[in-house]
Amino acid sequence: MHEVDMTKALIQTLQDWWQAQPDMPEIRAVHLTIGQFTCVEPASLQFAFAAQTQDTELAGVALRIHETSLIAYCHSCQQEYRPAIGQQYACPTCHAPLDDIRSGRELKIDHIEYRQPASVARESSRPVSPS
Amino acid sequence: MHQTFSAALEMNLLHANQTGADHNRAHFDQWGITCLNIMSSPGAGKTVLLERTLTALQPELAIAVIEGDMTTELDAERLRRSGSPVLAINTGRACHLDAQMVAGSLHVLATQYQPQSFDLVLVENVGNLVCPAEFEVGEHAKVALLSLTEGEDKPLKYPIMFREADCVLLTKLDLAPHLDLDLNQVIANVRQVNAQATILPLSGKTGVGMDAWYDWVRSQVQANSAGASPCYSPHPKSLSQSGRGTSNSPSPGLGEGVGG
Ligand SMILES: Nc1nc2c(ncn2[C@@H]2O[C@H](COP(=O)(O)OP(=O)(O)OP(=O)(O)O)[C@@H](O)[C@H]2O)c(=O)[nH]1
Ligand SMILES: [Mg+2]
Ligand SMILES: [Zn+2]
Ligand SMILES: [Zn+2]
Ligand SMILES: [Zn+2]
């Protein structure tokens, strides 16, 4: 349900970015990193994004979600481990509580993939593949 | 010829909410208010806890409530009997409070009350164990309730709220003798995901265990007022335009909508 609100924020970010570009590039895809240990359901996000962008200038933009799994770090054992979500979060070796989370809490807009005429390509942009 | 480019954004999906929450917190700090965000699944006992807390702490603290559990107006009505201001948020079908909703209540607090006169704002979030913990509203600390009737595995199944909480209240302690449940196991399960939180078993019905909760609330208010910086304003420009903020003028700048 909150995926709808998150998608609104995402679309706002995309629009702000787009309007700040001098030459109205064509956005092809937006890449997100979503951790497994968050309240976000990737499928709901996909659904909300498709629903909210249809009939707008963002229609057809692909939402690419990269999921990261929960990885914790135990300071006493000085090692990483993968908690069994829903069952066991403490360190399997020394049973210390879940402390540092190395991955799995991300809710990040990574990057935007866009197209524009090569002639207006700017210094700060990194070409991915010429076409 | 067209080329495909990549622009890095590296931005949190919750960035807008986070900015709004920081802004709300700056207002709380400016007014010398401590804000606690009270969260739980539906029916764990948030309203009962607030009713008792208002009665017990009103003699020493000026308290306002932001009531986000709006399935009915009933909760707000119950709490108004305490005499404290209760600012109700119409959440509609929202599954959590967000910073913008609470900003609306701060606007009411600033325009219809004297916000500097309050010590404590208690926010009752929407009854939901999943997402309220991800959406800060500007609180100084998070309180998660888990009623013993919900079973011992809830902290493992819904770990995020219990991990984010500064204080975990195990409510409905009076029912423990009737339940097939091991209190120590509940505590151990909360501990698995949160090494630091204060964990307090209590009953809002009989009052047992409530004193430790009141002490925790007092400690939060004290810690905050010790660290507060009253000179700081989230709206430095408008403050300078209106001269020095007088003690009973509503916060300058709140009229523009606190979200921004
Ligand atoms: N036995 C017992 N019942 C309680 C206790 N605290 C709350 N209840 C009961 O549990 C039910 C829900 O309590 P509320 O305080 O309304 O719970 P809530 O978390 O505010 O619920 P929502 O706002 O709907 O999410 C009511 O019937 C209360 O009387 C308690 O400590 N012991
Ligand atoms: Mg309630
Ligand atoms: Zn939500
Ligand atoms: Zn270990
Ligand atoms: Zn403001």
> Residue B88: pLDDT above 70?
yes
Residue B154 — very low, low, confident or very high, per pLDDT cuts 50/70/90? very high
In chain A, which residue's Cα lies nearest the Cα of B158? A86
Contact A89 B159 (CB under 8 A): yes
What is the rounded average pLDDT of the residues B25-48? 96
Q: Tokens for B184?
A: 């120590």
* pLDDT computed for residue B232 by the predictor: 60
Residues from chain B contacting residue A25 (CB–CB below 8 Å): 5
Residues from chain A contacting residue B6 (CB–CB below 8 Å): 111-114, 125-126, 128
Distance B27 CA to ligand 5 centre (A): 6
pLDDT digits (tens, 9 = 90+) for B192-224: 999 999 999 999 999 999 999 999 999 999 999
For residue A44, tell me if it sits in a domain: yes
For residue A38, tell me if it sits in a domain: yes
In chain B, which residue's Cα lies nearest the Cα of A109? B11
B98 CB within 8 Å of a chain A CB:
yes
For residue A65, tell me if it sits in a domain: yes
Closest CA to A101 of A34, A33, A37, A32: A37
Give the number of the ligand closest to the Cα of residue B132: 3
State the closest ligand 1 atom to the C-alpha of B173, by its place in the atom list counted from 1: 31
A89 CB within 8 Å of a chain B CB:
yes
Question: Phi and psi of B80, rounded to 5°?
Answer: -65, -30
Return the percentage of chain B with pLDDT > 90, whole number.
71
Contact B2 A115 (CB under 8 A): yes
Chain A residues 16-75 with a CB less than 8 Å from chain B: 17, 25, 28, 32, 37-40
For residue A104, tell me if it sits in a domain: yes
B5 CB within 8 Å of a chain A CB:
yes
Q: Which domain holds residue A29?
A: 2-13+24-113
pLDDT digits (tens, 9 = 90+) for B54-83: 999 999 999 999 998 766 667 788 888 888
For residue A122, tell me if it sits in a domain: no
Residue from A1, A2, A100 whose CB has the most chain B CBs within 10 Å, to mutate: A2
Q: Which of A88-92, B9-13, B17-21, B217-221 has the lowest mean pLDDT?
A: B9-13
Domains of chain B, with CATH numbers? 2-222 (3.40.50.300)
For residue A105, tell me if it sits in a domain: yes
Burial of A29 (0-12, 13-18, 19+ CB in 10 A): middle
Q: Which of A12-26, A97-111, B36-50, B130-144 has the lowest mean pLDDT?
A: A12-26
ipTM, interface predicted TM-score of the complex:
0.82
**Of residues B129 and B10, more confidently modeled:** B129
* pLDDT computed for residue A54 by the predictor: 94
Name the stretches of chain A with pLDDT < 70: 1, 119-131
pLDDT digits (tens, 9 = 90+) for B230-249: 556 677 654 434 433 334 43
* pLDDT computed for residue A129 by the predictor: 55
Q: State the Cα–Cα distance between residues B104 and B40, nearest whole angstrom.
A: 22
* pLDDT computed for residue B237 by the predictor: 55
Closest Cα in chain A, distance from residue B62 (Å): 33
What is the rounded average pLDDT of the residues B17-40? 97
For residue A129, tell me if it sits in a domain: no
For residue A70, tell me if it sits in a domain: yes
Q: State the Cα–Cα distance between residues B106 and B89, nearest whole angstrom.
A: 11
pTM score, two decimals?
0.88
Residue from A21, A65, A89, A105 whose CB has the most chain B CBs within 10 Å, to mutate: A89
For the Cβ of B48 lying below 6 angstroms from any atom of ligand 1, the answer is: yes
* pLDDT computed for residue B186 by the predictor: 97
Instruction: Indicate the number of domains in chain A.
Output: 1
> Residue B164: pLDDT above 50?
yes
Find out whether B232 and B29 touch, Cβ atoms under 8 Å. yes
A95: domain CATH number is 3.30.2320.80
Contacts (Cβ under 8 Å, ≥6 apart) of B186:
B146, B148, B152, B155, B170
